[in-house]
Amino acid sequence: MRQMVAYTLKQAGFGVVEGVNGQDGLSRLDAQRVDLIVTDLNMPVMDGITFIRQVRSRPGMKGVPVLMLTTESQDSKKQEGKAAGATGWIVKPFHPEKLLATIARVLP
Protein backbone atom coordinates (compact mmCIF):
# COMPACT_ATOMS: atom_id res chain seq x y z
CA MET A 1 0.00 0.00 0.00
CA ARG A 2 2.87 2.36 0.85
CA GLN A 3 4.32 1.74 -2.60
CA MET A 4 0.99 2.53 -4.25
CA VAL A 5 0.75 5.85 -2.39
CA ALA A 6 4.37 6.64 -3.31
CA TYR A 7 3.68 5.78 -6.95
CA THR A 8 0.62 8.05 -7.04
CA LEU A 9 2.55 10.96 -5.54
CA LYS A 10 5.57 10.48 -7.80
CA GLN A 11 3.33 10.36 -10.86
CA ALA A 12 1.88 13.70 -9.76
CA GLY A 13 5.39 15.17 -9.60
CA PHE A 14 6.04 15.04 -5.85
CA GLY A 15 9.36 14.00 -4.37
CA VAL A 16 8.69 11.12 -1.98
CA VAL A 17 10.62 9.88 1.07
CA GLU A 18 9.37 6.54 2.40
CA GLY A 19 9.57 5.08 5.88
CA VAL A 20 8.64 1.46 6.61
CA ASN A 21 7.09 2.32 10.00
CA GLY A 22 6.60 5.22 12.40
CA GLN A 23 10.07 4.96 13.92
CA ASP A 24 11.72 4.84 10.50
CA GLY A 25 9.58 7.78 9.41
CA LEU A 26 10.81 9.88 12.35
CA SER A 27 14.43 9.07 11.48
CA ARG A 28 13.87 10.25 7.94
CA LEU A 29 12.17 13.43 9.15
CA ASP A 30 15.25 14.17 11.24
CA ALA A 31 17.38 13.88 8.12
CA GLN A 32 15.19 15.72 5.65
CA ARG A 33 12.66 18.56 5.59
CA VAL A 34 9.26 17.65 4.14
CA ASP A 35 6.16 19.64 3.12
CA LEU A 36 3.57 16.97 3.90
CA ILE A 37 3.28 13.64 5.71
CA VAL A 38 0.97 10.76 4.77
CA THR A 39 0.88 7.99 7.38
CA ASP A 40 -1.04 4.85 8.15
CA LEU A 41 -2.61 4.26 11.55
CA ASN A 42 -1.71 0.61 12.02
CA MET A 43 2.01 0.13 11.60
CA PRO A 44 4.60 -2.12 13.19
CA VAL A 45 7.10 -0.75 15.72
CA MET A 46 5.27 2.59 16.07
CA ASP A 47 1.59 3.23 15.27
CA GLY A 48 0.33 6.30 13.43
CA ILE A 49 -1.07 8.14 16.47
CA THR A 50 2.23 7.89 18.35
CA PHE A 51 4.06 8.88 15.19
CA ILE A 52 1.97 12.05 14.80
CA ARG A 53 2.48 12.98 18.44
CA GLN A 54 6.24 12.57 17.95
CA VAL A 55 6.13 14.63 14.76
CA ARG A 56 4.24 17.48 16.43
CA SER A 57 6.70 17.52 19.31
CA ARG A 58 9.57 18.28 16.94
CA PRO A 59 10.55 21.89 16.38
CA GLY A 60 9.39 23.26 13.05
CA MET A 61 6.95 20.40 12.44
CA LYS A 62 3.81 21.90 13.99
CA GLY A 63 2.58 23.40 10.72
CA VAL A 64 3.38 20.47 8.44
CA PRO A 65 0.13 18.83 7.25
CA VAL A 66 -0.23 15.20 8.32
CA LEU A 67 -2.81 13.03 6.57
CA MET A 68 -3.83 9.73 8.09
CA LEU A 69 -4.50 7.12 5.39
CA THR A 70 -6.07 4.10 7.04
CA THR A 71 -8.71 1.38 6.90
CA GLU A 72 -10.00 2.63 10.25
CA SER A 73 -13.22 4.63 10.07
CA GLN A 74 -14.28 4.65 13.71
CA ASP A 75 -15.09 8.13 14.99
CA SER A 76 -13.27 7.62 18.30
CA LYS A 77 -10.10 6.76 16.36
CA LYS A 78 -10.52 9.82 14.18
CA GLN A 79 -10.86 11.99 17.25
CA GLU A 80 -7.75 10.39 18.68
CA GLY A 81 -5.89 11.21 15.49
CA LYS A 82 -7.21 14.75 15.49
CA ALA A 83 -6.13 15.21 19.10
CA ALA A 84 -2.67 13.87 18.24
CA GLY A 85 -2.35 16.53 15.55
CA ALA A 86 -3.54 14.93 12.31
CA THR A 87 -4.66 17.39 9.62
CA GLY A 88 -7.01 14.99 7.88
CA TRP A 89 -8.32 11.42 7.80
CA ILE A 90 -8.65 9.40 4.61
CA VAL A 91 -10.27 5.97 4.69
CA LYS A 92 -8.82 3.32 2.39
CA PRO A 93 -9.23 2.28 -0.34
CA PHE A 94 -8.17 5.67 -1.66
CA HIS A 95 -8.88 7.13 -5.09
CA PRO A 96 -5.61 8.58 -6.43
CA GLU A 97 -7.28 11.76 -7.71
CA LYS A 98 -9.10 12.30 -4.41
CA LEU A 99 -5.85 11.80 -2.51
CA LEU A 100 -4.08 14.37 -4.70
CA ALA A 101 -7.01 16.78 -4.40
CA THR A 102 -6.91 16.46 -0.60
CA ILE A 103 -3.14 17.03 -0.59
CA ALA A 104 -3.61 20.14 -2.74
CA ARG A 105 -6.11 21.46 -0.18
CA VAL A 106 -3.85 21.00 2.85
CA LEU A 107 -0.50 21.94 1.36
CA PRO A 108 0.64 25.38 2.58
Partner 1 sequence: MKGWSCILSRLSGGRGRRLAELADEVAGHWPHLPALEAQIRETAREVESSVVQVCGAFEGMATRSRDSVAAANQLLGAGQGSGIETVLEASRHSLQQLREQIGRGHQISSQLIDRMKTLEKSAGVIVKALGEIDRIAFGSKLVALNAKVEAAHFGDQGGAFGVVADEIAAHARQSEEITEAVVGEMQQLRATVAATSGELEEMARMSVGTLEATRGELENALGELTRTHGEMEAGLTSAIQGGEQLADDISRSIMALQFQDRVAQRLGHVADELADMRKTVHLPLEYLKLETPVLGAERSKTVGERLAARYTMQSERVAQGGQKPASLPETDGVELF
Question: Which residue, 96, 30, 24, 92, is CA-closest to 60?
Answer: 30
* Dihedral angle, C-alpha 65, 14, 40, 71, nearest 10 °: 110
User: Considering only residues 5, 37, 38, 41, which one is a binding residue for partner 1 as defined by CB under 8 A?
Assistant: 41
77 HSE (CA, 13 A, CB side): 16
Question: Footprint of partner 1 on residues 1-40 (CB under 8 A)?
Answer: none
Closest to partner 1 by CB, 58 vs 105, is 105
User: Considering only residues 11, 27, 42, 57, which one is a binding residue for partner 1 as defined by CB under 8 A?
Assistant: 42
The contact set with partner 1 (CB under 8 A) reads 41-42, 70-74, 78, 81-82, 86-91, 93-95, 98, 102, 105-106
